[in-house]
Amino acid sequence: MQRDPSQQTRRRMVRVVNKEMRRFEENPTIAQCLTIAEAIVNQHPKSFEDTLDDGKTMIGGHSSLLSQLKTRVEHVHRNNTLAQRPTVTGATGVKEKEHLQTVAARDST
């Protein structure tokens, strides 16, 4: 019977998976991380599936692992501006980041 891995073992596994993902994609998207998280949970449901106290599986069963994978990706790239995803330009033609900075500056005055 499979058992839940310790927190230390789970973090180590997330680091190893992240390192392997980065061999193919320097900054994996949330969709790519989702595919990996689903595959891991499907192969090892007793160890990685998100369950409630009463034993019921949460919807999807992979949200905590997905969150850990994406957080690790962001952590690895926190000081690497070249690996960050480009800012999305909205329908108005204004970049989202610039818009948020403008709103924040306006609200602070």
The predicted-structure confidence for 12-41, as pLDDT tens digits, reads as follows: 999 999 999 989 988 888 899 999 999 998
Is residue 55, in this structure, part of any structural domain at all? yes
| Contact predicate 41/48, CB 8 Å | yes
- In this predicted structure, the answer to whether residue 79 has a pLDDT above a threshold of 60 is yes
Across the range 84-97, mean pLDDT stands at 56
Is residue 97, in this structure, part of any structural domain at all? yes
Residue 1's pLDDT is 45
Across the range 47-70, mean pLDDT stands at 83
Domain range for 66: 7-108
Q: Is the pTM of this model over 0.85?
A: no
Query: Based on the structure, what is the number of domains in the chain?
Result: 1
Is residue 2, in this structure, part of any structural domain at all? no
Long-range contacts of 55-62 (CB under 8 A, 24+ apart): 62/34, 62/37, 62/38
Is residue 1, in this structure, part of any structural domain at all? no
Q: What distance in Å separates the CA atoms of residue 98 and residue 81, rounded to the nearest whole number?
A: 16
Residue 18's pLDDT is 93
Directed axis angle between helix 30-43 and helix 7-24, to 10°?
130
| Contact predicate 30/37, CB 8 Å | no
Residue 69's pLDDT is 92
Is residue 12, in this structure, part of any structural domain at all? yes
What are the tokens at 56?
A: 């019921």
Q: What distance in Å separates the CA atoms of residue 64 and residue 27, rounded to the nearest whole number?
A: 19
Q: What is the dihedral of CA 35, 10, 7, 38, to 10 degrees?
A: 20
